[in-house]
């Protein structure tokens, strides 16, 4: 390879890595998140173009065709997908990344099997590998690359199949939880078998039968691990599989000697790991409890302990109550996303602000079906960032809040997380909506939320229920408030 070309490629990878890191940094704030995505996108484009410049790159035409098809499909689906379907879209795209990493691992492993009868061209092992040199071919780089290739294939396969199940759950194609007796034991046995076969592959015992068995078990474990997880845990699961995908890409980048893949994968893996920890901490649960616990299983037992009744309110009375309030806190949840009511809710908030009411939006870290789901919806509606408060900042303000308006939120405002030790969500930090002087809850009906847990807030003395579709109810509030102003 020409020295100048290699220098150019290395420089492109370095710039791409900087753009990845700076883009991720900008994504940490809602004000700069959109720019961060653009920066990271340019970094990926630069990395892809640099990779195509590699002199030993083969089948460039097929690669470019595949990239164009993928870009066209992503552009079409990204523009057509509704905001309510964004969580499952994120899960699906994340799974595709894990699947791509697993496919790279499969290609390298199968190609190495073929090396027994042909000159070695795989980066998994050094040039000296052959059946006659099996005992001595493990040079310092060879076994490391082989082990990381197997690990990347395992993690990528789990992320791929697990993300597909998460997508199906969020899309409503599968039941929220699927459990059977002895499930944990079965999962452990499947994982142990996959790890054992992976160890054989990493030690150089490469056969097509073992490779096929390894991938079948890895994909099966991803399915079995995700099936019993309830929908309320999806933000944590999506973050976890995001971390898995990043690690798998980094490992396979080492196998391919591609610095851009290593850096991008490690950045995504580290960010996904930190986000997973934050999500689990926001629910006051360990990651093991999320993956192997029984969130929502005991909902029936806790529902019987709730006294009182749900008290309805008309939109006109609710509008008057908030119109003459001094402080109003709006708490959005997944129901607002389903109803696509964020624009009407912001219109209502603007009318309140015009009347001199102090309005804030309260966001729980795991509200919705993916990390930052509510922030994305409110940003789409044009809500200023300084009106959006995190749980830690807004909770001390609820006792001085005249009216808390809850639209589509359930578990994140359930006071049983603090009062009922038998509740599955006991100990989870919540928005202290119950401490507000008055609470208005917009809800389609009297049923439980996505996690299947009854909410004591709906039966509280200071709570009133405004039944109906989120967008329609918010529209009624807007109309009633305009009538007052007119």
Collect all residues with Cβ–Cβ distance below 8 Å to 88 and sequence separation of at least 6.
166, 167, 170, 171, 369
CA dihedral of residues 467, 473, 478, 479 (deg, nearest 10): -80
Pairing between strand 463-467 and 438-443? parallel
Q: What angle do CA 187, 188, 189 make, to 5 degrees?
A: 90
DSSP-derived secondary structure letter, 235: H
Please give the Cα distance from 191 to 395 (Å, whole number). 42
Residue identified by tokens 């590998």 is 129
What is the token pair recorded at 259?
């610095």
Torsion of CA 379, 382, 387, 390, to 10 degrees: -10
Alpha helices in 27-138 (DSSP H): 33-52, 60-80, 86-114
Burial of residue 136 (CB within 10 Å: 0-12, 13-18, 19+) is exposed
For residue 407, the cross-strand partners are 332, 442
CA–CA separation, 412 vs 425, rounded Å? 9
Q: Which residues contact 311 (CB under 8 A, 6 or more apart)?
A: 463, 464, 465
User: Quick one: tokens of 192?
Assistant: 């142990």
Q: Report the C-alpha gap between 157 and 429 in whole angstroms.
A: 33
C-alpha pair distances (Å), 338 with each of 80, 260, 474: 16, 38, 13
Distance between CA atoms of residues 244 and 153, nearest Å:
11
> Across the beta sheet with 463-467, what order do the strands follow?
388-390, 358-363, 327-332, 403-407, 438-443, 463-467
With contact defined as beta carbons under 8 Å apart, do 27 and 36 qualify?
A: yes
- In angstroms, the CA 186 to CA 172 distance is 25
Spatial contact of 345 and 407, defined as CB atoms under 8 Å apart: yes
Q: How many CA atoms lie within 13 A of 90 on its CB side?
A: 22
Q: How many CA atoms lie within 13 A of 209 on its CB side?
A: 1
Q: Which of 411, 432, 461, 485 is catalytic?
A: 411
CA distance 411 to 58: 53
411 flagged as catalytic: yes
E strand or H helix that includes residue 147: helix 141-171
Active site (catalytic) residues: 411
């Amino acid at each position: 390879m020409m020295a100048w070309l290699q220098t150019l490629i290395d420089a492109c990878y370095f710039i791409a890595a900087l753009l990845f890191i700076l883009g991720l940094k900008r994504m940490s704030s809602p004000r700069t998140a959109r720019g961060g995505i653009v920066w990271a996108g340019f970094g990926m484009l630069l990395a892809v173009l640099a990779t195509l410049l590699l002199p030993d790159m083969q089948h460039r035409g097929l690669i470019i065709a595949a990239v164009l098809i993928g870009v066209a499909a992503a552009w079409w689906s990204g523009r057509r997908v509704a905001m309510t379907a964004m969580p499952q879209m994120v899960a699906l795209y994340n799974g595709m990344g894990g699947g791509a990493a697993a496919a790279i691992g499969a290609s390298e492993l199968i190609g190495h099997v073929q090396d027994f009868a042909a000159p070695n061209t795989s980066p998994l092992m050094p040039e000296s590998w052959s059946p006659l040199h099996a005992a001595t071919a493990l040079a310092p780089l060879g076994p490391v690359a082989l082990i990381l290739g197997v690990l990347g294939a395992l993690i990528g396969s789990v992320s791929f199949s697990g993300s597909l199940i998460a997508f199906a759950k969020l899309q409503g194609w599968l039941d929220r939880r699927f459990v059977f007796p002895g499930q944990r034991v079965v999962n452990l046995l499947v994982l142990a078998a996959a790890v054992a076969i992976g160890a054989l592959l990493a030690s150089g015992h490469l056969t097509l039968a073992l490779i096929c068995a390894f991938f079948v078990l890895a994909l099966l474990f991803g399915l079995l691990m995700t099936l019993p997880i309830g929908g309320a845990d999806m933000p944590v699961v999506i973050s976890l599989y995001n971390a898995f995908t990043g690690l798998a890409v980094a490992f396979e980048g080492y196998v391919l000697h591609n610095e851009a893949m290593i850096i991008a994968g490690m950045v995504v893996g580290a960010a996904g790991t930190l986000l997973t920890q934050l999500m689990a901490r926001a629910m006051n649960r360990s990651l093991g409890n999320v993956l192997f616990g029984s969130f929502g299983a005991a909902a029936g037992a806790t529902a019987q302990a709730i006294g009182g009744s749900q008290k309805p309110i008309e939109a006109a009375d609710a509008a008057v109550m908030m119109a003459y309030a001094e402080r109003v806190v709006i708490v959005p949840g997944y129901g607002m996303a389903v109803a696509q009511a964020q624009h009407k809710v912001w219109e209502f908030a603007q009318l309140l602000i015009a009347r001199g009411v102090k309005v804030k939006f309260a966001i729980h870290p795991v509200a919705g079906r993916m990390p930052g789901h509510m922030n994305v919806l409110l940003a789409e509606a044009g809500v200023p960032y300084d009106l959006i408060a995190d749980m830690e900042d807004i909770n001390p303000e609820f006792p001085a809040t005249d009216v808390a308006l809850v639209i589509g939120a359930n578990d994140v405002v359930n006071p049983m997380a603090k009062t009922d030790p038998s509740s599955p969500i006991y100990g989870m930090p919540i928005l202290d909506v119950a401490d507000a002087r008055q609470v208005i809850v917009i809800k389609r009906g009297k049923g439980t939320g996505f996690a299947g847990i009854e909410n004591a807030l709906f039966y509280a003395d200071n709570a009133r229920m405004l039944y109906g579709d989120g967008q329609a109810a918010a529209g009624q509030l807007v109309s009633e408030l305009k009538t007052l102003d007119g």
